[in-house]
Structure 1
Amino acid sequence: MNGYDVTDIVFVVSVVGEEHYLGHSTDLSDIAALSRRAWSLFPSRVVGDRSIDLELPIPGRSGSRRIGKMNDADVSKQIQQMVRFIRQEAEEKANEISISAEEEFNIEKLQLVEAEKKKIRQEYERKEKQVEIRKKIEYSMQLNASRIKVLQAQDDLVNSMKEDAAKELLNVSHHHHILNVTHHDHEYKHLLKELIVQSLLRLKEPAVLLRCRKDDAHLVESALESAKEDYAAKANVHPPDIIIDHKVYLPPAPSHHHAHGPSCSGGVVLASIDGKIVCENTLDARLDVAFRKKLPEIRKSLYGQVVA
C-alpha cells in the first residue's frame, strides 16, 4: 500500500486474521463507496466476525496511524471525523488560494493603475508642453505684431514730417511766380546760383548741360554769369560753358491737378555733355539726402532712441 498519498484515507478489511486492501482516497463520495464495499464483500453471515481497519493521515506529519478494529458505529463516527477534517483542510486550502489570488489581483491591479497613471502623466506633460509652446508662439507673434505697429506708426510720423518739409520747399520757389521782383524772388535766385556753383564743383567739366523748371528758366539765365565767375574763382579754372536745355525741362511744382505725376520743387540738374555724369541738385533731392543723414537724430528726438 505504498501507492497512495499521505493525506489519503486507506481502507483495510480484516477477516479471520487476514487483511484485505480495498483502496484509498480523500474524496468523500469515494470514502463512502469504499465503506459500503467493505461491508458488502464480507457480510457477517458469511464471515462471522468482521471489522474494518482504517489508516488515517496524521496532520502535519508524513505518515499515518492505524485505527483498531471497529464496528459499524465506530466506522461511521470515524468517517464523520474524517469528513470534518477533510472539509476543514479544504476550507483552509480554499482560503489560502483565495487570499493568494486576492493578493495577486491587488498587485496586478496596482501595477495596471500605476502604469495608466504614468501614461496619463506623460500625456498631460506632453499636452502641457504643447500648450506652453503655443503660448510662446502666440506671444511672440503678438509681440512682433505690436512692434510692427509701433514701427509703422513711427515711419508714418517720420514720413508725414518729410511731406510737411516737402510742402515747405514750395514756399522757397513759389512766390516769385506771383509777384514780379520781390525780396523772396531775389533769395531764390541766389539759391539757384549757389546750387549751380556747387554742381560745377562736383562735375569739374569745361562744358555742362543744365536743366531746370520752365518757370525758373529766366532766373537761371540771370544768375548764370555770376555762377560761372564764382566757380572759376573757387576752382581756379576758366569759366565753363553752360548750356541751358530748353527742350527738356524739369517737372513743374506739385499741385492738386498733378498730384500723382512727377514734380519738382525747384533747383537744377547739371550733367556732362555726353550725359555720363549727372549731378542732381534739386530741392527734392537735397531734402532726401538731408533726411537720410538726419533720420537717426530725428528718431532719437521723437522717440528717445535710435531705431535701426
Structure 2
Amino acid sequence: MSQTHALSDDQVSLELKKMTAFIKQEAMEKAREIEIKADEEFAIEKSKLVRQETSSIDSTYEKKFKTAQMSQQITRSTVANKTRLKVLSARQELLDGIFEAAQKKLGDATKDNGKYEEILKNLALEGFYALNEKKVQVRVRKADVGAAEKGLELACKEYKEKTNKEIEASVDEENPLPEGIAGGLSIVGGGGKIDINNTFEERLSLLQDTALPSVRTTLFGKNENRKFYD
C-alpha cells in the first residue's frame, strides 16, 4: 500500500519561488535576445539611413558643384570674350588711326615737283605694262597736268627701253580727276573701256587690304590662333 506525502506550505512556497525565478530568468533572457535583435535591426536601419542621406548629400553637393563650375566657366568665358572684343576694338582703332594719318599725309607727296613727277612716271608705267597697248590716255587733276606730262615722257621712254615697244600716252585734259583727291592718276585704254585707277587714295586702299596682315604682325606680334596664311 503506497503512501502519499502531502507537501507542506513551506515546500509549496519554495517550489513556487523556484518556478517564479525560472520564469523570470527565461523572461529576462528572452527580453535580452529581443533587445539585442532590436539593437542590431536599429544599427542596420541607422546605417541604411546614413548611407541614403550621405548619398543624397553627395548627389546634391555634386549637382551644386557642377552648377557652380559651369557658372564659373560661363563667367570666365564671358569675361574673356569681352576682354578679347575690347582688345580687338582697341587694335582696330589703332589701325584705323594709322591709315587715317596716312590719308592726311597723301598730299605731301605732291609738294616736291621732282619727286612727284617720278611718282607719276611709275604709276603710269604700271598701267602701261598692265594694258600693253600702243596708245593710252592719262587723267590727272588740272593742277597736275604739267607734272604728269613730264612723268609720261619719262614713262614712255622707259617702257620702250624695257619692252622694245612704242607707246603713245597723252593727258586727257577734258576729263580731269576731281581736285579733291590727293594726287596720282588713272590710265585709260581699250578705247575708253578700261580704266586703271592709280590715284593715291586707291593705292592706299589697296595697301590697306594687302599690307594689313603684315601691319598687324608688326604692331601686335604673330597671331598664335591663326593656322593658315596666304
TM-score scaled to structure 2, two decimals? 0.76
User: 1:283 pairs with 200, 210, 214, which one?
Assistant: 200
Q: Bigger relative contact order, structure 1 or 2, given CA contacts below 8 A and separation 6+?
A: 2
Aligned residue pairs total 224
Are 1:231 and 2:159 matched, yes or no?
yes
Are 1:203 and 2:150 matched, yes or no?
no
Give the C-alpha shift of residue 294 in structure 1: 4.5
Query: In structure 1, the residue corresponding to 2:148 is in which secondary structure?
Result: helix
Q: Tell me the distance in 1 between the aligned counterparts of 2:167 and 2:50.
A: 103
Are 1:81 and 2:18 matched, yes or no?
yes
Q: Tell me the distance in 2 between the aligned counterparts of 1:277 and 1:70.
A: 149
User: 1:209 touches 1:273 (CA, 8 Å); kept in 2?
Assistant: no
User: 1:210 touches 1:268 (CA, 8 Å); kept in 2?
Assistant: yes
User: 2:45 pairs with 108, 133, 137, which one?
Assistant: 108
Are 1:123 and 2:60 matched, yes or no?
yes
User: 2:174 pairs with 232, 246, 251, which one?
Assistant: 246
Give the C-alpha shift of residue 172 in structure 1: 1.9
Give the C-alpha shift of residue 113 in structure 1: 0.4
Distance 1:243-1:172 versus aligned 2 partners, 3 A rule: closer
1:94 is aligned to: 31
The structure richer in strand per residue is 1
Distance 1:298-1:223 versus aligned 2 partners, 3 A rule: closer
Q: Which runs of 5+ in 1 are unaligned?
A: 1-16, 18-50, 52-67, 176-183, 254-263
Give the C-alpha shift of residue 204 in structure 1: 0.7
Distance 1:119-1:250 versus aligned 2 partners, 3 A rule: farther
Are 1:267 and 2:184 matched, yes or no?
yes
Give the C-alpha shift of residue 120 in structure 1: 1.2
Q: 1:1-308 counterparts in 2 under 5 A?
A: 69-70=6-7, 74-173=11-110, 175=111, 184-217=112-145, 219-221=147-149, 223-240=151-168, 242=170, 244=172, 246-247=174-175, 249-253=176-180, 264-273=181-190, 277-303=194-220, 305-307=221-223
Query: In structure 2, the residue corresponding to 1:70 is in which secondary structure?
Result: coil
Distance 1:145-1:269 versus aligned 2 partners, 3 A rule: same
Q: Which runs of 5+ in 2 are unaligned?
A: none
User: 1:207 touches 1:273 (CA, 8 Å); kept in 2?
Assistant: no
Give the C-alpha shift of residue 222 in structure 1: 5.7
Query: In structure 1, the residue corresponding to 2:80 is in which secondary structure?
Result: helix
Distance 1:121-1:89 versus aligned 2 partners, 3 A rule: same
User: 2:140 touches 2:171 (CA, 8 Å); kept in 1?
Assistant: no
Give the C-alpha shift of residue 295 in structure 1: 4.1
Query: In structure 2, the residue corresponding to 1:147 is in which secondary structure?
Result: helix
TM-score scaled to structure 1, two decimals? 0.60
User: 1:208 touches 1:242 (CA, 8 Å); kept in 2?
Assistant: yes
Give the C-alpha shift of residue 109 in structure 1: 0.6
Deviations 1:270-293 (A, max 9, x none): 233356644221212323444555
Q: Tell me the distance in 1 between the aligned counterparts of 2:6 and 2:196.
A: 145
Give the C-alpha shift of residue 163 in structure 1: 1.4
The code of the aligned residue for 2:41 comes to E
The structure richer in helix per residue is 2
User: 1:194 touches 1:227 (CA, 8 Å); kept in 2?
Assistant: yes
Q: What's the C-alpha RMSD, in Å, of the aligned pairs?
A: 3.3
Deviations 1:124-144 (A, max 9, x none): 133223322332333233233
